[in-house]
Amino acid sequence: MEKTVKLNNGVEMPRVGLGVYQAQDGTETENAVKWAIEAGYRMIDTAAAYGNEESVGKGIRMGLEAGGLKRDELFVTTKLWNEEIRAGRTEAAFFESLKKLGLDYLDLYLIHWPADGFEKAWQEMVKLQQKGYVRAIGVSNFHPRHLDALKRCSDVSPALDQVECHPWLAQAELRQELENRHLACGAWSPLGGGRCGVMRDETVTAIAEECKRTPAQVILRWDLQHGMITIPKSVHRERIQSNIEVYDFELTDQQMNRLDGLNRNLRVGP
């Protein structure tokens, strides 16, 4: 399996990245990002609402320096928050995030939620992309009706829709809709977060035993074999390392079907 996917504008995006939602600003986030880069991650996903963009930026610099890597070898995503959308501050918010991250450009900028005014925000994001400040633009938590609204206000289609997705919330219908629209699907909270027991599900743990893998690796591999981009979060070095070791095994069709059968339409996020 290729480790990157080509978005609908031709930009190559890694399939697995580090998510940093609820990672504490400061050393915790800085180390997680640095460790991820050292472990081979080439995508970091944050958001203005997480309150840790400065720490993510420091971790990026630490990781790139430690690995002798260049900026263009890393894919960085952040997101536009709801209040900025409502206030019409898309461009200002973008440059504030860029400054906190300490970067000259972004690889992907997402509308975090379809808050009131998202159509206008999208038009401003298109301009930022056209000016070269961001390589790709997309959305998060959008339903088809929101995507239809964007289509009415702009000729530029989102490159990706990032949504909550895990075996207990499989999102099969939405994933098919995104595929039909030529949008990549990104999975946030792919392991269900701390409030979800999906990694302790008997089917997941049984398949993990069959594959001699961790439950997290089984779920992340399920993401990949369904064509999703996934951003597991961890601040523990050993788990960060383990979560990217998903390219050297494959789930059988039967195992995929068993995991697909776990869907409960159960959300752990909003």
Phi, psi of 32 (to 5 degrees): -60, -45
Alpha helices in 25-171 (DSSP H): 27-39, 53-67, 82-87, 90-101, 118-130, 144-153
Query: Which one-letter DSSP state was computed for residue 103?
Result: -
Give the integer Cα–Cα distance in Å for 243 and 234. Answer: 9
Whole-Å CA distances, 90 to 37, 129, 171, 180: 29, 13, 29, 29
DSSP letter string, 205-238: HHHHHHHTS-HHHHHHHHHHHTT-EE--B---HH
Q: Which two tokens stand for residue 248?
A: 């050297």
41 classed as catalytic: no
Burial of 203 (0-12, 13-18, 19+ CB in 10 A): middle
- Ramachandran class of 93: left when φ > 0, alpha when ψ lies in -120 to 50, beta otherwise: alpha
CA angle 7, 217, 256 (to 5 degrees): 75
Query: Which one-letter DSSP state was computed for residue 123?
Result: H
Catalytic residue among 41, 50, 109, 133: 50
- Number of CB atoms found within 10 A of residue 79's CB: 25
CA dihedral 139, 141, 145, 149 (to 10 degrees): -30
Q: Which residues are catalytic?
A: 50
